[in-house]
Amino acid sequence: MFLTDAPLIERRQVARDIWVLGFAAPDIAASVKGGQFVNIGLRGGPLLRRPFSVYRAADDRVEVVLKAVGAGTAQMLAMREGDVASCLGPLGRAFDLPRSAKTVALISGGLGVAPMPLAARDARAAGIHVTWVHGARTGDELCSETDGDEVILATDDGSAGIPGTVVAAAPDADLVLACGPNRMLAAVAQRWPHAQVAVETYMGCGTGVCLGCAVPLTRGGYDRACTEGPVYVAGDIDWRALPSHLSYAVSA
Amino acid sequence: MSVEVGGLTLRGPVLAASGTFGYGTEVPLLERRALAGMVSKGIFLKARAGTAPPRIAETPSGMLNAIGLQGPGVEALVRDYAPLWAAWDFPVLVNINGESASEYGELAARLDGVPGVAGFEINISCPNVEQGGMYFGNDPRAAAAVTEAVRRRTKLPVWVKLTPMVSDIGVIARAVEAAGADALSAVNTFVGMSMDLNAYQPRLSFRTGGLSGPAIRPLAVHLAHQAARAVDIPVVGVGGITRADDALEFLVAGCRAVQVGTATFVNPNAIADVHDGIAEFMARKGFASLDDLPRYLPRD
């Protein structure tokens, strides 16, 4: 785990209202795995850091994907090249990619695309065939970056790809990894209880101390999205008890 | 920068506050040389699952939390954590909680003499189940009864963490001093509430939560000062400290030491930053020891 002041070095738009920010953070970039996250704080910003799944990591650079949904994300989007963010990471448990798997479906809704490029990288490195299944409400909200893998798109309004949900559009695969709104992940859990999902919760510290990011478990009790998660076996989460109305939609 | 506080000799003035440092194994990247001591996450006799999410909500310069004192119970603490603490070079106080005065006493008895347990911090901000759920900390007699129940079962240092949700903190402070407390921690979180304007309901599932962070600091400085003026035992200031200057405000207001809490969530090395900043202030102002720092404690 590293804590570093990371200058902004890259900024590009990948969908309507959705941006990728790249920060120079060599230690984190060299060690992060798909599904892990960074906790980002800004001087003069909100008190608490904000958790972001790492989108890409290469060449000393860590990328995150975000949308302006609150004061913190708005302030991040207003950053200029060279402005510094405090980056803590990599945090949390990554996707587990067993070598026995031959195919993986990466299912994402909206900003849930966040951990998928890194998951795709790790899967390709493990010799697993990657299929992206990515959905959004409308075509212009679909993320435009899919790394040359096989891609299935879906939109709620039918303006691009298959009309309907990503879960309905997805093929079966040896391995299913999913990230998106908790309601979507609950549907994933119904169809593939063994899928691995990266859940979204509010977070305080991101390091396992504050117990703020409680995830309700089917076996009873809670554990911490930041430490035991954010990647879970879908069937292990008590989806009825996990809030699905969070007012920011940053997956981590 | 060593200080004597409530029966303990601390190597510095900055401790980790209960609930923000786990059981001492969780916080990464902290330069522990600066840590004068820690107060454990609050513990009950029995394991507790904690409250349903959402458990936290950020507010201006602060955060609300309702974790529900999630914890493994005292036996797991004795088995899994105390042996680690016994090897550490700073003291660990266990923050103890109960639903009745006798439960606090039982906890103290179970932990007294366990290697690694250097003392107790009593959280009196718990509802007293035997008295219709009234908070121990709001009633001088109940607060004193809890303190006595613990005092009778241990010779280790007993600190009492005061709640700010009272009309006169001096009354509670004097009551627990008379009941045998060695020091006071002032103050616990303020009860607050925040509403979700999409769901038309509180942002926390528990409805209310404890407010911490810089938002409460001037309130906490005032209450710690009032407590310090009311008693002869040392007061440990806590509430919204993120930098050395914040800690120094509590010290000048009459506190002997401080606890850093929520700041650790944001900056894992906050305790060391506060410690180093105090040392730098002392050097710059020419104070050889913390006892030389002027305290503003008018007795009128």
Q: Which of B29, B53, B267 sits opposite A216 (nearest CB)?
A: B53
Question: Could you say which DSSP state residue B48 is in?
Answer: B
Closest Cβ opposite residue A204 in set B63, B70, B205: B63
Residue of A169, A132, A155, A149 whose CA lies nearest to A16? A155
Number of alpha carbons in the 13 Å side-chain half-sphere of residue B41: 27
End-to-end CA, chain B? 30
Which residues, 6 or more positions from A128, have their beta carbon under 8 angstroms from its beta carbon? A97, A101, A102, A103, A104, A174, A175
B268 touches chain A (CB under 8 A): yes
Exposed / middle / buried, residue A80 (Cβ in 10 Å: 0-12, 13-18, 19+): exposed
Are the Cβ atoms of B53 and A222 closer than 8 angstroms?
Answer: yes
Contacts of A220 in chain B (CB under 8 A): 49
Enumerate the β-bridge partners of residue B94. Answer: B120
Residue B212 touches partner A, C-beta closer than 8 Å: no
pLDDT digits (tens, 9 = 90+) for B83-135: 999 999 999 999 999 999 999 999 999 999 999 999 999 999 988 888 888 89
Chain A residue numbers with beta carbons less than 8 Å from the beta carbon of B51 are 214
* Residue at B57 is within a domain: no
Residue B231 counted as domain residue: yes
* Residue type at position B186: A
- Binary contact (A220, B49; C-beta < 8 A): yes
- Cβ contact (<8 Å) for A213 and B53? yes
Q: Do A243 and B269 touch (CB under 8 A)?
A: no
Closest CB to A47: pick one of B49, B63, B196: B63
Q: What is the pLDDT of residues B215-267, one digit of tens each?
A: 999 999 999 999 999 999 999 999 999 999 999 999 999 999 999 999 999 99
Distance CA B182, CA B103 (A): 20
A chain contacts of residue B205, beta-carbon cutoff 8 Å:
243
The residue type of A252 is A
Q: Domains in chain A, start-ordered, CATH in brackets?
A: 2-91 (2.40.30.10), 103-241 (3.40.50.80)
CA distance B214 to chain A (A): 9
- Has residue B159 been placed in a domain? yes
Asked if the structure places residue B143 within a domain, the reply is: yes
Residue A246 clears pLDDT 80, i.e. is over it: no
In the structure, what pLDDT confidence band is assigned to residue A205 with cuts at 50, 70 and 90? very high
CA dihedral A140, A143, A147, A152 (to 10 degrees): -70
- Tokens 């990230």 map to which residue? A179
Q: Tell me if residue B190 falls in helix, strand or coil.
A: strand
Judged against a pLDDT cut of 90, whether residue A124 lies above it is answered with yes
- Considering only the beta carbons, identify the residue of B49, B53, B265 that sits closest to A210: B265
* Residue B137 located in a structural domain: yes
| Nearest residue to A23 via CA among A83, A66, A74 | A83
* Chain B residues within 8 A of A215 when measuring between CB atoms: 53
Q: Indicate the pLDDT class of residue B165, thresholds 50, 70 and 90.
A: very high
Structure-block tokens of residue B130? 């035997």
- Nearest CA to CA, how far is B27 from chain A (Å)? 6
State the best of B95, B201, B266, B273 to mutate against chain A, taking most chain A CBs within 10 Å. Answer: B266
Which tokens belong to A136?
Answer: 């959004």
Measured between beta carbons, the chain B residues lying within 8 angstroms of A218 are none
* Cβ–Cβ gap A212/B55 under 8 Å: yes
Mean pLDDT of B199-213: 94
Beta strands A150-155 and A162-163 are: parallel
Give the SS3 label for residue A112: helix
Torsion (CA) B251, B256, B261, B267 in degrees, nearest 10: 60
- DSSP code at position B80: I
Give the ipTM of the model, two decimals please: 0.93
Q: What is the pTM of this model?
A: 0.94
Where residue B115 sits, what CATH number does that domain have? 3.20.20.70
- Put simply, whether A82 touches B (Cβ < 8 Å) is no
* pLDDT for A249 beyond 60: no
Q: Give A220-235 pLDDT, tens digit per residue.
A: 999 999 999 999 999 9
Q: Measured between CB atoms, does A100 come within 8 Å of chain B?
A: no
| Nearest-Cα residue of chain B relative to residue A49 | B266
Residues near B251 by beta carbon (within 8 Å), at least 6 away in sequence = B13, B237, B258, B278, B290, B293, B295
Number of domains, chain B: 1
Q: Does the structure show a pLDDT above 70 at A251?
A: no
Nearest Cα residue to B2 out of B193, B207, B275, B192 = B275
End-to-end CA distance of chain A: 16
Closest CB from A207, A208, A222 relative to B49: A222
Considering only CB atoms, A1 lies closest to which of B29, B70, B213, namely: B29
Mean pLDDT of chain A: 93
pLDDT(A245) > 80: no
Domain-located, residue B228: yes
Closest by CA position to A107, among listed A131, A142, A143: A131
pLDDT of residue A250: 35
Contact between B224 and B235 under an 8 Å Cβ cutoff? The reply is yes
Range of the domain at B278: 3-48+68-194+212-292
CA distances from B246 to A153, A244, B13, B219 (A): 53, 38, 13, 12
- Known catalytic residues of B are 126
Contact A65, A93 (CB under 8 A): no
pLDDT the model gives residue A143 = 93
CB-CB neighbors (< 8 A) of B268 in chain A: 3, 88, 205, 207
pLDDT value at A140 more than 50: yes
Of B192, B215, B200, B260, whose CA–CA distance to B15 is shortest? B260
How far apart (Å, rounded) are the C-alpha atoms in residues B278 and A202? 33
Rounded Cα–Cα distance for residues B183 and B131 (Å): 26
Give contacts of B199 with chain A, Cβ < 8 Å: 245
The verdict on B18 touching A (C-beta cutoff 8 Å) is no
Chain B residues near residue A204 by CB distance under 8 angstroms: 56, 63, 65, 265
Q: What is the pLDDT of residues A22-59, one digit of tens each?
A: 999 999 999 999 999 999 999 988 999 999 999 999 99
Q: What residues of chain A, 1 to 30, have a C-beta less than 8 Å from chain B?
A: 1, 3
Nearest CA-CA partner of A251 in A187, A205, A181, A200? A200
Q: Compute CA distances A249 → A95, B127, B145, whole Å.
A: 20, 36, 47
The verdict on A221 touching B (C-beta cutoff 8 Å) is yes
Residue B56 resides in a domain: no
List alpha helices for chain B, DSSP H.
74-76, 82-85, 101-111, 140-151, 169-178, 217-230, 244-252, 263-266, 270-285
Answer whether residue B87 is part of any domain.
Answer: yes
Nearest to A207 among B26, B53, B58 (CB): B26
State the Cα torsion A218-A220-A226-A227 to the nearest 10°. -100
Whether A215 and chain B come into contact, CB under 8 Å, resolves to yes
Cβ-Cβ contacts under 8 Å, B265 against chain A: 48-49, 204-205, 209-210
Mean pLDDT of the B202-227 span = 97
Greatest Cα pair distance in chain B: 56
Q: Mark yes or no for CB contact B56/A207 under 8 Å.
A: no
Instruction: Quote the CA–CA distance of B32 and B220 in Å, as a whole number.
Output: 26
Lowest mean pLDDT among A1-5, A201-205, A244-248, B48-52: A244-248
Put simply, the answer to whether B268 touches A212 (Cβ < 8 Å) is no
* Cis upstream peptide for B258 (omega within 30°): no
